[in-house]
Structure 1
Amino acid sequence: MTAPTRSRRLARLVAVGLLLAALGGCSGDESPSAQTTFDQALHDELVQMQADDQAEMTGRGADPTTTFESRQARLAEILDEHGWPGWDLVGRKGSTAAWVVVQHADLDLAFQEKALGLLEEAVAAGQASPGDLAYLTDRVAAARGDEQTFGTQIRCDGKRAVPATPIADEAGVEERRANAGLEPLGDYLAEMEELCAGDAP
């Protein structure tokens, strides 16, 4: 397999994985609580950043005036100002949109690690998706070459979808995934395997 082919396959796997996760993370009411003022403009900006991110990732309808780098730089400003943009501030869709942009900042592990710490705090406060946290936890671990906790990061081994790095305490992974609101690992791998089979020569 050539390097460009591997890159395209990885991009498609990432895009599909993010779409599946985002569909789960975006469900629910957008209504904020009274504790924090809902920022409609910031919500809309983050949702647009996600749309631009997915367009650039898939190569369909990408806006040439925005790039991964520019979105990451803007999100860094948002994180510095607000911490993790939580549900009260930007709603569930806005919070998950921020997560999508962080997931794609693979060339800046330090940025992902900083965002992970902020996301952990937001989840502990009931202000962000445990599923989004599970994906970013594994994303950072896989980038470090460490074991995953939830098995969300996968690669193609021929037509098979397999974890990109080993899963720690694999016997407990289903309980951890359930607690994070994720589907069973076997179901997730089966969904990803359809993509691997489609890409395999």
Structure 2
Amino acid sequence: MRSIILICCSLFFYSVSDAQSDSVYQSLIAKAGLFHLQKDYKSAISYYEKAFQIQQPDALTAYKAASMYSLDSNHNEAFQYLHLALSSGWTEADWQSFDPYFDYLRTSYAAKWRIIAEQAFMKESQYESTLELPALRKEINSLTLDDQKLRYQKIQAKTDSARESINEQIMKSDIRNVNHAKKIIRQYGWPKISQIGKDGQNNFWLIVQHADQDVRFQQVALKAMEKLKGTNEINMENYAFLYDRVQCNLNYKQLYGTQVEWTNRGEASAFRPIFEEYKTDEIRKVIGLQTLRIYALTYGFVYHKISPEQSNKKDSEYKAQVQHLMDSAKVYYTKGQYQRTYDFYNAASTFLGGMSNADNFEAAIIFSKIASVSNEDKYKSIALDFLNLLFLREDLSKAKLKKQPSFKILFNEQRWIDIDKGVRNKTTFDKSYK
């Protein structure tokens, strides 16, 4: 009996020890990633080295470490970790060939670089032979590579006119990539890992994730991803990111805590509001994501897990703020102070998940009425903003729109026509992506 107890205690000890080691490793990698973003390459290397004493890196982490060593002009370690990345499964040879982080190796150690580049293409060729749709993978990876090249050119641009020109190219590239992604969704649904590989699927996700100008398409793509949940054909981390992105674009709270707030200086400061925040770490754990505390480190801010009581109190205060703003807006509306009405409604709308569908519909009615009495087009636009959000949330019906007489002033607006058409053709729209 005593020996059984000792065995159980030993197993528990090693389980806890492994969990603690993994947590320390993840924290160190997160800090290395932060210093990477801050271009403090020596500090990034220091944290990578500490982490690798605990655990050998996977392919992506080894690749990132190699890039830091290259930027620090340490060719021996850079090549060592590139070899490790390749042996661990790194497969994006085209990206490696372009990656500006390795310019030092390309120029100073050209012969060695050619050898490792050849090895990378050989590894990629072997990997492609295991996939069902290798040509589609190549196509997707090429789209994202071209996009990244443009963004790198923008960073290197030295004049405003050059940056403006590249911005136009980036916009065209984004539109082209999204249109391409739509065709792929129509033909294949969400491409599976067995079809285009992990890297191909990740690059496809990047195109969709950044298509914020087309939230409707993001919703369609998310539904396509959901069909693969519970299989080994999808990267659940990417699913979590897109789910949260769509939620935030619909002005709901996020679920997985993947989206952060950014300051005017371009620094992450906190997580965007999370639904039932006290449950988030458990939800993340189910799909293999690190805790919010560790994830926050990658962005350079500190996060402390909150209790159910703290979460509920935070939610109550949040709702009270939104209600106060909406109540104030309505008071100003009754006083005929329409700009102030807008100011308070606009403030309320910035709270993710703060305004319900009913609140948004009421706001659309109010601003339609204001447009009727003020003859100012901007209030039509504001009313249509609220209605468009409800359309994206799939909370509008033809009867609901036509029943409200205040909306008559919007009937000739192109956005109204588009929303009305979208509501009537919703079934057709969804079918076009099946």
| TM > 0.5 | yes
Instruction: Select the residue among 134, 139, 142 that pairs with 1:48.
Output: 142
C-alpha RMSD over aligned residues: 2.9
Query: Cα 1:74–1:144, aligned 2, differ >3 Å: closer, same or farther?
Result: same
- The secondary structure found in structure 2 opposite 1:155 is strand
Shift of 1:55: 3.7
- In the alignment, the residues of structure 1 paired with residue 278 and residue 128 of structure 2 have an alpha-carbon distance, to the nearest angstrom, of 37
Q: How does 1:57-68 map to 2 (within 5 A)?
A: 57=151, 59-60=154-155, 64=169, 67-68=173-174
- In the alignment, the residues of structure 1 paired with residue 128 and residue 282 of structure 2 have an alpha-carbon distance, to the nearest angstrom, of 29
- How big is each residue's C-alpha offset from its partner over 1:6-39, in whole Å with a ceiling of 9 and x where there is no partner? xxxxxxxxxx7xxxxxx58xx86986898xx611
Give the conservation status (yes or no) of the 8 Å contact 1:85–1:95.
yes
- In the alignment, the residues of structure 2 paired with residue 54 and residue 94 of structure 1 have an alpha-carbon distance, to the nearest angstrom, of 15
Hey, what does 2:189 align to over in structure 1? 83
Shift of 1:53: 3.3
- How big is each residue's C-alpha offset from its partner over 1:178-201, in whole Å with a ceiling of 9 and x where there is no partner? 22222211121122127xxxxxxx
- In the alignment, the residues of structure 2 paired with residue 29 and residue 160 of structure 1 have an alpha-carbon distance, to the nearest angstrom, of 29
What amino acid maps onto 2:271 in structure 1? P
Hey, what does 1:172 align to over in structure 2? 279
Query: Cα 1:154–1:55, aligned 2, differ >3 Å: closer, same or farther?
Result: farther
Hey, what does 2:204 align to over in structure 1? 98
- In the alignment, the residues of structure 2 paired with residue 107 and residue 179 of structure 1 have an alpha-carbon distance, to the nearest angstrom, of 31
What amino acid maps onto 2:174 in structure 1? F
Query: Cα 1:139–1:44, aligned 2, differ >3 Å: closer, same or farther?
Result: same
Give the conservation status (yes or no) of the 8 Å contact 2:254–2:274.
yes
Hey, what does 2:271 align to over in structure 1? 163
More helix by share: 2
Shift of 1:56: 4.1
Give the conservation status (yes or no) of the 8 Å contact 1:72–1:105.
yes
- In the alignment, the residues of structure 2 paired with residue 179 and residue 32 of structure 1 have an alpha-carbon distance, to the nearest angstrom, of 30
Query: Does residue 185 of structure 1 match 2:292?
Result: yes
- How big is each residue's C-alpha offset from its partner over 1:78-118, in whole Å with a ceiling of 9 and x where there is no partner? 11000001111101111111100000100100000000000
Aligned residue-pair number: 168
- In the alignment, the residues of structure 1 paired with residue 243 and residue 190 of structure 2 have an alpha-carbon distance, to the nearest angstrom, of 15
Higher relative contact order (CA 8 A, sep 6+): 1
- The secondary structure found in structure 1 opposite 2:296 is helix
Query: Cα 1:49–1:150, aligned 2, differ >3 Å: closer, same or farther?
Result: same
Query: Cα 1:40–1:137, aligned 2, differ >3 Å: closer, same or farther?
Result: same
Q: TM-score, normalised by structure 2?
A: 0.35
- The secondary structure found in structure 2 opposite 1:172 is helix
Hey, what does 1:198 align to over in structure 2? none
Give the conservation status (yes or no) of the 8 Å contact 1:43–1:94.
yes
- How big is each residue's C-alpha offset from its partner over 1:23-71, in whole Å with a ceiling of 9 and x where there is no partner? 58xx86986898xx61111111111222233344553587949610000
Query: Cα 1:114–1:57, aligned 2, differ >3 Å: closer, same or farther?
Result: farther
Hey, what does 1:11 align to over in structure 2? none
Q: How does 1:125-164 map to 2 (within 5 A)?
A: 125-157=231-263, 161-164=269-272
- In the alignment, the residues of structure 2 paired with residue 160 and residue 95 of structure 1 have an alpha-carbon distance, to the nearest angstrom, of 27
What amino acid maps onto 2:207 in structure 1? V
Hey, what does 1:197 align to over in structure 2? none
Query: Cα 1:179–1:87, aligned 2, differ >3 Å: closer, same or farther?
Result: same
Give the conservation status (yes or no) of the 8 Å contact 1:160–1:193.
yes
- In the alignment, the residues of structure 1 paired with residue 229 and residue 132 of structure 2 have an alpha-carbon distance, to the nearest angstrom, of 18
Q: Percent identity?
A: 27
Q: TM-score, normalised by structure 1?
A: 0.72
5+ residue gaps, structure 1: 1-15, 17-22, 195-201
- The secondary structure found in structure 2 opposite 1:69 is helix
Hey, what does 1:19 align to over in structure 2? none
Hey, what does 2:70 align to over in structure 1? none
What amino acid maps onto 1:51 in structure 2? L
- In the alignment, the residues of structure 2 paired with residue 57 and residue 142 of structure 1 have an alpha-carbon distance, to the nearest angstrom, of 25
Give the conservation status (yes or no) of the 8 Å contact 1:149–1:167.
yes
- In the alignment, the residues of structure 1 paired with residue 286 and residue 199 of structure 2 have an alpha-carbon distance, to the nearest angstrom, of 20
Q: How does 1:20-39 map to 2 (within 5 A)?
A: 38-39=132-133
What amino acid maps onto 2:287 in structure 1? A
